[in-house]
Amino acid sequence: MRIDLHTHSTASDGTDTPAELVRKAAAAGLDVVALTDHDTTRGHAEALSALPAGLTLVTGAELSCRLDGISMHMLAYLFDPAEPAFLAERELVRDDRVPRAQGMIVKLNELGVPVTWEQVARIAGDGSVGRPHIATALVELGVVPTVNDAFTPQWLADGGRAHMPKHETDPFEALRLVRNAGGVAVFAHPAASKRGRTVPESAIAELAGAGLDGIEVDHMDHDPETRARLRGLAKELGLLTTGSSDYHGSRKTCVLGEFSTDPEVYGEITRRATGAFPVPGPAGPEARTPRRGRGPEPRAWPEARTPRRPFPSVPPARQSCSTSPSSALSS
């Protein structure tokens, strides 16, 4: 069973429409795919309507967060997208994207780059505008050879010459919002150091104590040594471990199913979720029977995680988190 729990479509900064993405996921031999666009659920309806036979869709989103000045992403799965507090916070993130992008364009113009808002808006299309769209514009203009080359201090990286901060959610608040919306929260690519500073393990332990469900271990930005270290940390903290492609279509080199999640972990994620169900594609009457997953029955996880820990009434005391960079659920 092949399960990819981290992908992006044109609803944020991917290049495939949601319909194209689920068709490609099926063609790649995946059994389960999660659509986790940055800070938005706008692609879910299209993905569901185009869902091929034999493929199950997990609805989700990648939430933009910031912890003690460090940008981080939280994958949220199977939550109720209409839960009022969750929806209100996502709207704050989304509404900040356009003025932020326009501010970065002004900075680029001051640096002599003739990028325009019209060009970036064309590239973003109906998606949540973010840095990847501006980076694509820089490639079109010949300023940088690739999108990744735009994410440097010279241009769009955190603290870069053309960077602008954006609204990002405190991760402890994100955990509370996801939990209250019936979802499951997994820290995305926690050791992706090439993206900038990473959250220390002590902070991951605090997040685990506040209700974090898991960490994304098998990811293209983690080398084998890092994966082994994260797996050990997850075991110590009683966290689930996931694997996924972080697929963005042609904007990145990763391919669907490049890394996958263990079916037993997937079963545990679907067991914990109460906000939504995975949706199987059309494959006869049995496939339409409401279930929490197509994988094997989940194993008995440690008592510390089963049942799920109650969310603490007051999160651990910590320094206030600042706001900064990403798209209406994108970077």
pTM of the model: 0.81
Render the burial of 155-191: b for 16+ CB within 10 Å, e for the rest. bbbbebebbbbbbbbbbbebbbbbbbbbbbbbbbbbb
Q: What count of Cα atoms within 13 Å lies in the side-chain half-sphere of residue 292?
A: 19
Q: What angle do CA 100, 105, 108 make, to 5 degrees?
A: 130
- Tokens 């990403």 appear where? 326
What pLDDT was estimated at residue 249?
A: 93
Domain boundaries in the chain? 3-93+167-288, 97-150
User: How far, in Å, are 15, 180, 289 from residue 172 at the CA level?
Assistant: 31, 12, 35
What pLDDT was estimated at residue 154?
A: 96
Into which CATH architecture does domain 97-150 fall? Orthogonal Bundle (1.10)
Into which CATH architecture does domain 3-93+167-288 fall? Alpha-Beta Barrel (3.20)
What pLDDT was estimated at residue 310?
A: 42
What pLDDT was estimated at residue 283?
A: 64
How does pLDDT run along the chain (331 residues), one tens digit per residue? 999 999 999 999 999 999 999 999 999 999 999 999 999 999 999 999 999 999 999 999 999 999 998 999 999 999 999 999 999 999 998 889 999 999 999 999 999 999 999 999 999 988 889 999 999 999 999 999 999 899 999 999 888 999 998 899 999 999 999 999 999 999 999 998 766 789 999 999 999 999 999 999 999 999 999 999 999 999 999 999 999 999 999 878 889 999 999 999 999 999 999 999 999 998 643 333 333 433 333 333 333 333 344 434 334 333 333 323 333 334 5
What pLDDT was estimated at residue 321?
A: 30
What pLDDT was estimated at residue 264?
A: 98
What pLDDT was estimated at residue 194?
A: 66
